[in-house]
Chains A and B, each alone.
Chain A
Amino acid sequence: MVDVTSDKDVAGSDEVFKEVCGLVTRFAPEGMALTPDTELAAQLNIDSVAAMDLVMEIEDHYNIDIPINEIADLRTLGDLAKLVRRHVKG
């Protein structure tokens, strides 16, 4: 069971954050709390290729395209949610 803790900051308190957490749950070790500060590489072991594949799933989920130029600087779940939110809003 993974705990989604989204009340750490405003960026994490919305529906997008929760949906993104749903997509990354499989990367999280049992019992890990997912917060906006959770680190994609260091804590979830999501390497550069896995991050691009994850973004593809997110693109399908929201029917959007996120250029890979914008993925390189992603560090945390909060960063990812913020990026998705920007593209969902158009």
Chain B
Amino acid sequence: MDIFDKYATIIGRHDKVLEAGTDPFAVRVDEMLSATEAMIGGRRTILLGTNNYLGLTFDPTAIDASVEAARRDGTGTTGSRIANGNYAQHQELELELAAFLKRRSCMVFTTGYQANLAMIAGVAGPRDVIFMDSDSHASIYDGCTLSGAKVIRFRHNDPDDLDRRLARSPEGECKLIIVEGLYSILGDTAPLKAFAEVKKKHGAWLMVDEAHSLGVYGGEGRGVAEAQDCEADVDFVVGTFSKSLAAIGGFGAANHPRFDCLRFCSRPYMFTASPSPASIASARASLRRMANDPNLRAAIWNNAERLHAGLRQLGYTVAAAPGPVAAIRLPDEATAVAAWNRLLQLGVYVNLAVPPGTPNGACLLRCSLSAAHAPAQIDEVLGRFERLSQSLRELATA
């Protein structure tokens, strides 16, 4: 027996995707031209699937800070925060993030994925119960598994279903609810205020992953909890540097006075190398820009409204209300793969999202907006989506 036999089905599916053209899960970017354009397969391509929400990957101040940090502190820390990898910059960023988020404490992690692993497996343990939204990101599922807690899944964005499940749960267990602010695949937001009421009713704890909403939602960009005016009821905030902050890393923040015990209790924090000096420096610069430049939020919202309205006008079904993500529903996987390839040929890069990575078996073309997109680029993209419509009609009648 081959040790990879267990992947035979998924390898077969992947082979079928390859028959349709380019591998959507291994697109090679030959050269980045800007925050919104790249050379892919010899073609100048508009990037509409990078999660670069504020478009800060080429921010000159962030680049300078990053280069300076690499020259000053080196290319890597070669160690964990609990050993030799605890630099002044890590702690400075933690203080700055805590101040921005209006939280007592903040911890920085090496990636956004690890932020969820560290926060969930640090906060919850084998004697606790986690109640997680069914549409949660893989990092949340994996964090739940790592925690050893009992994990109950509730229906997506359904506070009544959560209420019923909490009511069935025995007294005397610590209960942690985990939801996301903005769900990255469909682009819908959580009804956090309603979840907060359920949390209070049952004496549970609430963790919100604002990975895709930080910098985009809320008057000051703190995320969906700020936008819904319920931050005080959120016990733990998780986020990432790899979207709005245009770097690599993640964070967790809380007001709990014992929160910092995770520095010596959470394995994904303790047993991995700390973020590189260059990444921390650019995250700090981007955080300052994000906090002080509300025009970035205005720009991405304008672009979001423009794209969503245009797609709907062209007859596409967009999964959620206008926001930084526009997920276009397609009838099946073969159509989605064909549409994705056609768009790439037309010079537009989006994300292909298919089961089991999507909820309810949805097949999607997932687009994400950036503040750096010019309105003319959005119009150009819409023109190419119009040509895609024609291709899809031809495909349907073939």
Contacts and interface: CB of A to CB of B under 8 A. Distances in A.
11 contacts: A48-B356, A50-B355, A56-B134, A56-B153, A64-B168, A65-B152, A65-B169, A67-B151, A68-B151, A69-B150, A69-B151
Interface in B343-374: 355-356, 359-361
A53 interface: yes
Contact of A67 (B9, B152, B155, B355): B152
A1 interface: no
Nearest to A66: B152
Interface of B: 9, 134, 144-145, 150-153, 155, 165, 168-169, 355-356, 359-361
B307 to A, nearest CB: 28
Contact of B168 (A52, A55, A63, A68): A63
Contacts of B355: 47, 49-50
A47 B356 contact: yes
B166 to A, nearest CB: 10
A38 B153 CA distance: 25
Interface size class of A (residues with CB under 8 A): 10 to 19
Q: Is the interface of A mostly helix, strand, loop or mixed?
A: helix
Contact of A68 (B152, B155, B356): B152
A63 B165 CA distance: 9
A65 B361 contact: no
A55 B165 CA distance: 14
Contacts of B145: 69
B297 to A, nearest CB: 33
A49 B354 CA distance: 12
B151 A52 contact: no
Contacts of B356: 47-50
Nearest to B359: A49
A65 B168 contact: yes
B159 to A, nearest CB: 16
Nearest to A41: B9
A50 B361 contact: yes
